[in-house]
Structure 1
């Protein structure tokens, strides 16, 4: 799907609301998440709630992304969290690499039914299998190789899922293929271990917005609390957050 810029006044908030995501909840996401969504990227893994044909409310978690229809209207596509990744199309060695968080090259079935080579990786947040056609990442790798003066052996290593550490201005920098990144290539200041450990999405325990707060539990799950439901603990945390922000502003 083609990525493009989406303005927030054209987003399908009624469609999101049917899945338990109100406009207030979306607008209270951190700015970095809103920028990602507005550029056609994926949302964080968020709680969703739907009512089935029997009237039962089902709670789950999902990412979403916006697409532009032929009519010019904006619609939303959900990427639900799965209990396990569908890896039956990959051999044992490939499954081991994928479950280890690496991106691999494999044959995949495209949306039009054709089979083609693609970089494949598991989204840790949803356990969905992501893929990007190899020419797209290969093009970005070619540009990277020219800029960083990398050889064929080094590029091949990255194509096989191994991050590469180089020295820039006397400091180690590690680069590798990661389909979570906008270009499919992620940089990290530090060695390969730092690159492996670098979080894909950085969240505080409390993220306060205009209408409520996104809270992250010990397992990394996000849940939303509207301001009218704040506990004394949340009011205290909001006060501390405001004081930290003021102190940061004064020191700039």
Structure 2
């Protein structure tokens, strides 16, 4: 199931609709999110609704990613939010590091029985355990070391899950391994504390689209309201958003 570029019109909207994610909801996601999805990257954590064996509606939250099956057709793979992370295969020290939000290097067994090294980290929004081959992140770390003149000690510290704070042009910059990032490495203006606080993908409280609005609550959860269900508050927010966009366009 090779991940390659997808076009918006070929996405399996009918499959997503069975889980309560309509085509309108997907198309109303920010353009940067749609671009990520079309490049085979994970979605934000979104609400889904399904019927259980008793016909009752069950609500949950999940990430998903588009994949291409062996027959060339696009499909969807879900990564649901878990109550806790499955860490049984890791020793006590590794579990402690993972639960602290750090990336670690661990052994893994491939489908054909071979053993290899991977970077492992917990997705803080779903508790899913993410893994990426060390060779991929290692190459990116090598490029980073050359560009920022990082020492072997600093790189080793990053590999052990500790972000590094540097001073560039008299300003602190922190860099560390984050498997949710496109390259597996995330930069942040500020110190290590700022880097950790910025781990969640940033959203405005209201993200208006063509058909409705994605709303982020105080806990960072996203929910969708179609236009026909807008409250007076939402209509007012949409008006303010339009005015801000027009003002920004005039100042370009």
Measure, in 1, the Cα distance between the counterparts of 2:35 and 2:4.
12
Secondary structure of residue in 1 paired with 2:176: strand
Deviation, 1:152, is 1.0
- What's the counterpart of residue 78 of structure 2? 78
Q: SS at 1:239's partner residue?
A: helix
CA distance in 2, matches of 1:150, 1:123: 27
- Give the superposition deviation at 1:56: 2.0
- Number of positions where the alignment pairs a residue of Structure 1 with one of Structure 2: 252
- Separation (CA, whole Å) in 2 of partners of 1:127 and 1:43: 15
Q: What TM-score comes out, normalization by structure 2 length?
A: 0.95
Q: Do residues 104 (structure 1) and 134 (structure 2) align?
A: no
Asked if 1:242 is matched to 2:242, the reply is: yes
Task: For 1:175 and 1:130, locate their aligned partners in 2 and report how far apart those are by CA, in whole Å.
Answer: 19
In structure 2, do the counterparts of structure 1 residues 96 and 118 end up closer, same or farther at CA, with 3 Å as the change threshold? same
Q: Distance in 2 between matches of 1:249 and 1:212?
A: 22
* 1:188 and 2:188 aligned: yes
Residue 116 of structure 1 aligns to a residue in which SS? strand
CA RMSD of aligned residues (A): 1.4
Shift of 1:113: 4.9
- Partner SS, residue 225 of structure 2: strand
Structure 1 stretches of 5 or more lacking a match? Answer: none
Distance in structure 1 (CA, Å) of the matches to 2:223 and 2:92: 36
Conservation of the 8 A alpha-carbon contact between 1:51 and 1:57:
yes
Identify the residue that residue 154 of structure 1 maps to in structure 2: 154
The residue that corresponds to 1:177 in the other structure is 177
Give the direction of change, closer, same or farther, for the CA distance of 1:171–1:229 in structure 2 (3 Å limit): same
Task: Return the TM-score normalized by structure 1.
Answer: 0.95
Q: Is the contact made by 1:180 and 1:200 (CA closer than 8 Å) also made in structure 2?
A: no
Structure 2: gaps (5+ residues): none
Correspondence list, 1:94-133, <5 A: 94-133=94-133
